[in-house]
Chain A
Amino acid sequence: MKRALLWLPLLLFAGLFALVGFGLLKPANRTVRSALTDKPLPDFTLPALLPGKPGVAKNGYGGGQPRLLNVFASWCLPCKAEAPQLMRLKALGVPIDAVATNDTADGMRDFLATYGDPYQRIGDDKASKVQIALGSSGVPETFLIDGRGRIVMQHVGDIRADEVDGIVAAWRAAK
């Protein structure tokens, strides 16, 4: 009994070794995902940022048509890289709304003039309140909201050219 106990430290160490070895072989995914996927869109109302372009609110969703909700900002670099893909999605008939975090009307006007305007509505999210309510942890992020007003997909980071088809397919499936 006593002798067997002497091997306990080695056993514990083997466990520790297996654990960190496992951690090394299978590095944890560092992407922070929203926990709201497959849940209804939370309640929110955002005023318009630009005159002539309506704001965004929860009651704009769930009318039977799935829509994309793009969390972005005119000051964010990857958002500029993402702009052509959003224009393509728009051309393919996907309706896109925006939550503009920490943005200004002037900045937004310049951005849309330079990179195109794929948005039907743009909400003015001053202190990123709605961004946090959505469980988003950076810009850009894109949520797909289905016809019943549920979040069915979250895309973290900028949408790349080869990801457009997948998003269109998901949008069709959400009808």
Chain B
Amino acid sequence: MAGSEVRRALIALALIAAPAWAQQSSLADVQLRDPAKEAQAKALMATIRCVECQGQSVGDSDAAIAGSMRSVIRERIQAGETPDHVRAWLIERYGDYITYDPPLGAMTWPLWLAPVVLLIAGAAIARSSFRKKGR
């Protein structure tokens, strides 16, 4: 029993240590020195979709490609690019799917208009119910 536990522990060590190729020159999990730029990079990461795990942003994913994207984002922000510029650069490569913040366009204006329409409809319902009942 004890023997098998030790073996399992060794396997675990081996497996966890396996990706020793990991990101040397990568900024995946290294903060930028300038806190303002780091904040910009963090905010951008939260809006970029991880293309491997798909349900998460690259800002909170363990997938390797998400780490690479964090690294690319930090590097470009550090080099002085604006977050919007970096986002545009990523959209150019992966399409609109990459951003959780759908850019306003032919396909997305109904989406962005929906909250306004709903608010107006709500106000109309409220008004009509007050007027009718106030009579």
Contacts and interface: CB of A to CB of B under 8 A. Distances in A.
Chains A and B directly touch (beta carbon < 8 Å): yes
Interface of A: 30, 32-36, 73, 75, 101-104, 107, 126-129, 131-135, 137-138
Contact of A103 (B21, B92, B98): B21
Contacts, number: 69
A104 B24 CA distance: 11
A136 B52 CA distance: 10
B52 A138 contact: yes
A36 B23 CA distance: 26
B93 A135 contact: yes
Contacts of B25: 126-127
Interface string B25-49: 1111000000000000000000000
Interface string B44-88: 000000011010000000001100110110010000000000000
A30 B35 CA distance: 36
A73 B23 CA distance: 13
Contacts of B98: 32
Contacts of A132: 65, 68-69, 72, 90, 93
A133 B52 CA distance: 16
Contacts of A104: 20-21
A101 B65 CA distance: 10
26 contacts: A32-B94, A32-B98, A34-B94, A35-B91, A73-B21, A102-B64, A102-B68, A103-B21, A104-B20, A104-B21, A126-B23, A126-B25, A127-B71, A127-B72, A128-B64, A128-B68, A129-B72, A131-B65, A131-B68, A132-B68, A132-B90, A135-B93, A137-B51, A137-B65, A137-B94, A138-B65
Contacts of B24: 126
B8 to A, nearest CB: 22
A75 B64 CA distance: 12
Contact of B26 (A127, A131, A134): A127
Nearest to A39: B92
Given A32-B51, A137-B65, A127 B23 contact: yes
Contacts of A133: 93
Contacts of B93: 34-36, 132-135
A103 B68 CA distance: 13
Nearest to A133: B93
B109 interface: no
Nearest to B64: A102
Contacts of B100: none
A127 B51 contact: no
Contacts of B95: 33, 35
